[in-house]
Chains A and B, each alone.
Chain A
Amino acid sequence: MTEMLKGTLEGIVLAILATRPAYGYEITAWLRDQGFSDIAEGTVYALLVRIERRGLVDVEKVPSEKGPPRKVYSLNDRGRAYLDEFWTTWGFLAERLGRLREGGE
């Protein structure tokens, strides 16, 4: 996984959770579908542990047909505020890099 993707993965996952609650495997599957094919499931899991410990998501344990109950993550108010911040940073970066690409001013 490139360093750039690693730095934005947290924002990506929070943005996914802003659309609907999901469990870890669904998030990894979605990322793979979208072309982020070399993301390890463990890396996504490590990130989910992090955002849970930082209180950015609410977690509900839901029974599963196969295996133990799954943790379903949903974005809470703190997570939404954090995601807003991420988009602000992202906008800043994209705008500055865009300028650089066009030859600077």
Chain B
Amino acid sequence: MDTGSNEPKKRYQRYLEAVTGPFDDKRRWRQYKARVRALPENYRAAVEALERYLMHFGPGDGAEAASMFEDIADLFEHAAADGTPIREIFGENPVEFVEAFLQNYSSGSYVRRERERFADAVARAAGETPGDDERAVR
């Protein structure tokens, strides 16, 4: 859902965004919140639980986080329309589901930094040049 224009941003807007974060991410966040409010009560409760978890472990980048929450809203709007029981969405192990889901998005800066540090330390210990191996870093 990209309605953003390509016109150069006005100077005051650039300044404000530097202070408050991009408007577009905020708009997407508000739209997501409105979609969640419109869900039936038990689906909403499930999404709020997910939201709490994803806030901790999800991407730190605003646009990436917005995409992630939009994907959650898509899933639960369809589940509500189909009447899919909550347990069938999450399965027996909700953590397994949320971790599989999280892998689709870039990690939060804290997690990413520690992964980089870890992979670099192993590379140094192995006598290689750190930073060559991008595998561990997402």
Q: Name A residues whose Cβ lies closer than 8 Å to a Cβ of B.
A: 1, 24-25, 38-43, 45-47, 49-50, 53, 64, 66-68, 70-71
Give the docked Cα–Cα distance between A41 and B88 (Å): 6
B46 to chain A, nearest CB (A): 10
Give the docked Cα–Cα distance between A38 and B93 (Å): 11
- Complex interface residues of chain B between 77 and 127 (CB less than 8 A to chain A): 77-82, 84, 88-92, 96-97, 100-101, 103-104
Give the docked Cα–Cα distance between A67 and B71 (Å): 15
| Other A-B pairs beyond A38-B91, A40-B91, 17, CB < 8 Å | A25-B78, A40-B89, A40-B90, A40-B92, A40-B97, A41-B89, A43-B91, A43-B97, A46-B97, A46-B100, A46-B103, A64-B81, A66-B82, A67-B77, A67-B82, A68-B78, A70-B78
Give the docked Cα–Cα distance between A42 and B103 (Å): 13
Query: Hey, which chain A residues are within 8 Å of B75, CB to CB?
Result: 41-42, 45
Query: Hey, which chain A residues are within 8 Å of B133, CB to CB?
Result: none
B84 to chain A, nearest CB (A): 6
Q: Is the CB of A42 within 8 A of B81?
A: no
Q: Which applies to chain B's interface (DSSP): helix, strand, loop or mixed? A: helix
Q: Is the CB of B104 within 8 A of A53?
A: yes
Q: Is the CB of A25 within 8 A of B100?
A: no
Closest to A45 in B: B75
Q: Is the CB of A67 within 8 A of B81?
A: yes
- Complex interface residues of chain B between 33 and 61 (CB less than 8 A to chain A): none
The 3 closest A-B pairs by CB, nearest first: A67-B81, A40-B91, A46-B101
Q: Is the CB of A50 within 8 A of B103?
A: yes
Query: Hey, which chain B residues are within 8 Å of A71, CB to CB?
Result: 74
Select the residue from A38, A46, A53 with max chain B CB neighbours within 10 A: A46
Give the docked Cα–Cα distance between A24 and B74 (Å): 11
Query: Hey, which chain B residues are within 8 Å of A47, CB to CB?
Result: 100
Q: Which listed residue, B74, B78, B104, touches A50 by the CB 8 Å rule?
A: B104
